[in-house]
């Protein structure tokens, strides 16, 4: 600017030559600006990216995983599996069933589909259980059936499940006063059978006569309504042949082979029953040589035997114990006198027996008077703390002792 203080401002200055622009430097500035904008854009996009965005770490770096909170979450979460075991399903099951134990002691059941052979509905079972799904109650469990020349007969399943347990009517399990009521002779009269199924409470066990008609149809109706069922087998009475029990009866003179063939023929008429009971049979039940093959066969097939209690000489209790057959004796025949008042007196007596012993069994036939009186009495007795149960819940079962 010089030393002349009197010179006007802006005059006398040396003019700089114009600066030449460096193309390389200008390109570098432009590149740096674009790169900065790109970095800022990527940072912003990552900040608002979804949680599922895959992030990669540079080699040699590690990311610490946050420790799970020990506090219980506010909303239900799927429990962690602590262990598990796979149960084998039945031959016609449509699923693998796996039970897993959680950390808190609960059990989680997992069903996964699998391919299967054969037609028909898929039955999903988590293992042996007492009773049957009501939606499937009219259909037999195919694992508990064997095909024979005499028909489809009950057997114990490969996992030890007995027909007695599969087709039993579930009950509370309480050890209060229990009564088992059995109404027999179903299948002999169409109207009588229909009335019994319609009017009797599902807690009543229904016994079908092996010589009856349309047994498969009636069996399905009874099972759909929740009844446990038995099969009545005709047996030789003391006054045979004057008092004939009907065709295909078990006779002392026939021998074991013939009697077993007749027994199996009768057993093949229907399915889904928990056991059999006698129709007549005073003499047959008193002969050990005749009765033993029957009890041995029932024991192998997982069925119970109910004795109607009409013969004081019956050996069914002794032989059933020898072959592990669940067994029961009826305490009273309720309709030996066929009138309403007489049946009510018997029912009141049965209640006294049950309160004294804890359990009682009463049997009757499907007469109109019997069905109507039993249905009426049960409505009143239920209010007095009595539990009515299927017959399988009140028999003496060796497996439960």
- Is residue 396 within 8 Å of 326, Cβ to Cβ? yes
Other Cβ atoms closer than 10 A to 358: 12
The pLDDT tens digits of the residues spanning 35-75 come to 556 565 555 555 555 444 444 444 444 444 444 444 444 44
User: Closest by alpha carbon to 116, among 140, 143, 135, 98?
Assistant: 143
**What number is the average pLDDT over the span 212-239?**
97
User: Closest by alpha carbon to 359, among 390, 383, 380, 333?
Assistant: 390
HSE of 118 in the Cβ direction (CA atoms, 13 Å)? 10
- Beta carbons within 8 Å of 359's beta carbon, 6+ residues apart: 177, 178, 179, 180, 394
- Is residue 89 within 8 Å of 96, Cβ to Cβ? yes
User: Closest by alpha carbon to 184, among 383, 374, 315, 393?
Assistant: 374
**Rounded percentage of the chain residues whose pLDDT exceeds 70:** 67
- Is residue 269 within 8 Å of 316, Cβ to Cβ? no
Map residue 184 onto helix, strand or coil: strand
CA 7 to chain centre: 116
HSE of 401 in the Cβ direction (CA atoms, 13 Å)? 10
Axis-axis angle for helices 190-199, 215-224 (nearest 10) = 10
**What number is the average pLDDT over the span 256-273?**
97
DSSP 112: E
Check pLDDT > 90 for residue 321. Answer: yes
**Rounded percentage of the chain residues whose pLDDT exceeds 90:** 64
Mean pLDDT of the chain: 81
The pLDDT tens digits of the residues spanning 176-202 come to 999 999 999 999 999 999 999 999 999
Cis, peptide link before residue 384, omega less than 30° from 0: no
Check pLDDT > 90 for residue 92. Answer: no
78: tokens are 């799927």
Check pLDDT > 80 for residue 234. Answer: yes
Hey, what domains does the chain have and what are their CATH numbers?
81-127 (no CATH), 163-400 (3.20.20.370)
């Amino acid at each position: 600017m010089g030393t002349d203080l009197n010179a006007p401002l802006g005059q006398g200055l040396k003019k700089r030559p114009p600066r030449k622009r460096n193309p390389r430097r200008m390109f570098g500035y432009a590149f740096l600006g674009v790169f900065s904008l790109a970095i800022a854009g990527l940072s912003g996009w990552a900040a608002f990216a979804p949680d599922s965005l895959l992030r990669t770490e540079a080699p040699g770096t590690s990311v610490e995983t946050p420790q799970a909170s020990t506090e219980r979450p506010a909303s239900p979460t799927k429990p962690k599996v602590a262990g598990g075991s796979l149960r084998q399903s039945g031959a016609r099951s449509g699923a693998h069933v796996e039970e897993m134990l959680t950390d808190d002691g609960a059990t989680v059941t997992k069903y996964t589909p699998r391919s299967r052979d054969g037609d028909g509905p898929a039955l999903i079972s988590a293992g042996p259980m007492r009773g049957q799904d009501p939606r499937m109650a009219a259909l037999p469990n195919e694992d508990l059936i064997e095909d024979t020349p005499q028909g489809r007969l009950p057997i114990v399943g490969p996992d030890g499940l007995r027909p007695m347990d599969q087709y039993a009517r579930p009950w509370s399990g309480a050890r209060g006063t229990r009564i088992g009521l059995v109404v027999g002779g179903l299948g002999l009269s169409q109207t009588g059978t229909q009335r019994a199924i319609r009017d009797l409470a599902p807690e009543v066990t229904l016994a079908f006569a092996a010589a009856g008609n349309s047994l498969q149809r009636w069996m399905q109706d009874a099972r759909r309504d929740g009844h446990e069922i038995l099969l009545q087998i005709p047996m030789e009475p003391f006054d045979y042949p004057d008092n004939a029990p009907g065709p295909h009866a078990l006779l002392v003179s026939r021998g074991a082979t013939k009697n077993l063939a007749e027994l199996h023929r009768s057993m093949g008429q229907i399915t889904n029953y928990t056991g059999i009971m006698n129709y007549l049979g005073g003499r047959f039940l008193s002969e050990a040589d005749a009765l033993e093959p029957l009890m041995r066969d029932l024991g192998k097939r997982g069925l119970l035997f109910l004795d109607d209690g009409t013969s004081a000489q019956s050996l069914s209790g002794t032989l059933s114990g020898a072959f592990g057959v669940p067994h029961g004796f009826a305490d009273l025949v309720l309709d030996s006198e066929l009138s309403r008042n007489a049946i009510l007196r018997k029912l009141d007596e049965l209640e006294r027996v049950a309160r004294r012993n804890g359990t009682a069994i009463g049997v009757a036939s499907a007469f109109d008077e019997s069905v109507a009186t039993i249905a009426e009495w049960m409505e009143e007795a239920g209010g007095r703390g009595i539990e009515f149960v299927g017959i399988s819940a009140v028999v003496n079962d060796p497996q439960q002792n």
